Amino acid sequence: MVAFTNLDDQNETEPREECGVFGVWAPGEEVSKLTYFGLFALQHRGQEAAGIAVGDDDRIVVFKDMGLVSNIFDESILGSLQGNVAVGHTRYSTAGGKEWSNVQPMFGTSATGVDIALGHNGNLVNYLELRQEAIDRGLIKPHEEHVSDSMCMSTLLADGVSEDKTVFDSALEFLPRVKGAFCLTFTDGKTLYAARDPHGVRPLCLGRLPQGWVVASETCALDIVGAQFIREIEPGELVAIDAAGIRSERFAETVRHGCVFEYVYLARPDTEIKGRSVNATRVEIGRRLARQYPAEDADLVIPVPESGNPAAVGYARESGITFAHGLVKNAYVGRTFIQPTQTLRQLGIRLKLNPLREVIEGKKLVVVDDSIVRGNTQRALIRMLREAGAAEVHVRIASPPVRWPCFYGIDFASPGELIANANPSDDPEVVCQTICDAIGADSLGFVSVEEMVSATEQPRNELCAACFDGHYPLGLPAGNPNAEAVRTLQGN
């Protein structure tokens, strides 16, 4: 299969989360199909590749490929994946590259013949250290270039299993050495395991089936398979599920730094994180945005679909300005397997969004979007709206300016490519005006970090907002060019 191509204006991509993970232990159920539907619900977390591993006590069978979940699996393939336990993964690469060998679940075998299939969501900051450990143990060759952090984890985890150490023992010994963001689902073909890094950067939850258990990146994946939400996997917790029930043990103390961008953009709106509805958070951010940056003379509030919808609803409710859908999104663009020609690329955002002229013509618009990264998409969108007859275009953004790259599982541009860094001023209003001029808006407003965090109803010290404030609670990775740029900018 051929990986899809994004068709954003000037090759700009939206912020993209690295992965989604899913696991199910349910003897007697069609675990491959449950995993398929779970991954389908998590498709937004990665559209580059996907895979499912199924164990039947005797062996593990892995099927994975490049592309979307619906393009990779069909009835015959799922029917061939028979067993009692399964783990699945949907991927967008940030570490390790786009090679097929880096598609997950990863597969490793211990010296004692125990097989392990593993799916990983997140990014590690000590990847080079773990890679060197794997080289020193003879598990990977020094010249192997395209080795992901996930591959290193699966290899080292399997290598820790021995006659005296179970998979659970190996995980308890290995996971404290892993630094960074990770949510894991893995299996030895008999037991379903799940683990979450001590900071809880990425979400991971536990659900109950009538005849089994489910672990997933988001609660929306529990909903689609009919599982009852039980609780979140705690940061620093390792869980094992089999016929004996659930076993849980801490491998590290919890020091919460959940990703605030999950609330702003990454997670599906029908997901809950730490008991807080993502949709409700985004609506509340819109309300706060309307109070911070009103637009009294505007005629309509329109969202940039789909991610801007909840915040636009909140903005309209708070401001009293009429809400309307002024843009139609083609849901299939950005997930196509057809390589675009240069002529099609020049159409840019028109391949994704088309204005409803009869709605916006002659109107003063408040356009609500979730974030601005490079600014190319917003610039093209504003131009398109003016061509369609908009009298004024006032842009409101439901997150602060993105000024720093993420090293914990989101693919952002380098610091120099971020439009918020076009003006080095520390004055937010100066930065905002610079961006406003660059994208050609009549006015521009960003919600503040304080208001965004407050809308999540989570304590500020339990959230990571590194991409907005430059504070990296998990540290910076070694040997990463963007991390070196951050160190230089911060004077470290």
Name every residue whose Cβ is closer than 8 Å to that of residue 230 and which is 6 or more positions away in sequence. 205, 206, 207, 208
Residues with catalytic function: 19
**Domain layout of the chain by residue ranges:** 16-255, 276-491
270 is in an annotated binding site: no
Both tokens of 184, joined, read: 């894991």
User: Any bridge partners for residue 23, and if so which?
Assistant: 87, 215
Q: Are 16-255 and 276-491 in the same CATH fold?
A: no
205 is in an annotated binding site: no
SS (H, E, C) the chain: CCCCECCCHHHCCCCEECEEEEEEECCCCCHHHHHHHHHHHCHHHCCCEEEEEEECCCCEEEEEEECCHHHHCCHHHHHHCCCCEEEEEEECCCCCCCCHHHCCCEEEECCCCCEEEEEEECCECCHHHHHHHHHHCCCCCCCCCCCCHHHHHHHHHHHCCCCCCCHHHHHHHHHHHCCECCEEEEECCCCEEEEECCCCCCCCEEEEECCEEEEECCHHHHHHCCCEEEEECCCCEEEEEECCEEEEEECCCCCCCEECHHHHHHCCCCCEECCEEHHHHHHHHHHHHHHHCCCCCCCEEEECCCCCHHHHHHHHHHHCCEECCCEEECCCCCCECCCCCHHHHHHHHHHCEEECHHHHCCCEEEEEECCCCCCHHHHHHHHHHHHCCCCEEEEEECCCCCCCCCCCCEECCCHHHCHHHCCCCCCHHHHHHHHHHHHCCCEEEECCHHHHHHHHCCCHHHEECHHHHCCCCCCCCCCCHHHHHHHHHHCC
**Distance between CA atoms of 57 and 280, rounded to whole angstroms?**
43
162 is in an annotated binding site: no
Look at domain 16-255 and name its CATH class: alpha beta
**Distance between CA atoms of 22 and 456, rounded to whole angstroms?**
25
**Distance between CA atoms of 98 and 49, rounded to whole angstroms?**
9
152 is in an annotated binding site: no
369 is in an annotated binding site: yes
- Per-residue pLDDT for the chain (492 aa), expressed as one digit of tens each? 222 223 333 344 455 556 999 999 999 999 999 999 999 999 999 888 999 999 999 999 999 999 999 999 999 999 999 999 999 999 875 444 556 778 999 999 999 999 999 999 999 999 999 999 999 999 999 888 778 899 999 999 999 999 999 999 999 999 999 999 999 999 999 999 999 999 999 999 999 999 999 999 999 999 999 999 999 999 999 999 999 999 999 999 999 999 999 999 999 999 999 999 999 999 999 999 999 999 999 999 999 998 899 999 999 999 999 999 999 998 776 555 455 566 666 667 777 899 999 999 999 999 999 999 889 889 999 999 999 999 999 999 999 999 999 999 887 768 888 999 998 888 889 999 999 999 999 999 999 999 999 999 999 999 999 999 999 999 999 888 889 989 988 876
pLDDT for the residue 6: 31
432 is in an annotated binding site: no
Evaluate whether 147 touches 131 at the Cβ level (below 8 Å): yes
Domain 276-491 carries which CATH code?
3.40.50.2020
Both tokens of 416, joined, read: 């120099």
pLDDT for the residue 96: 45
pLDDT for the residue 64: 96
148 is in an annotated binding site: no
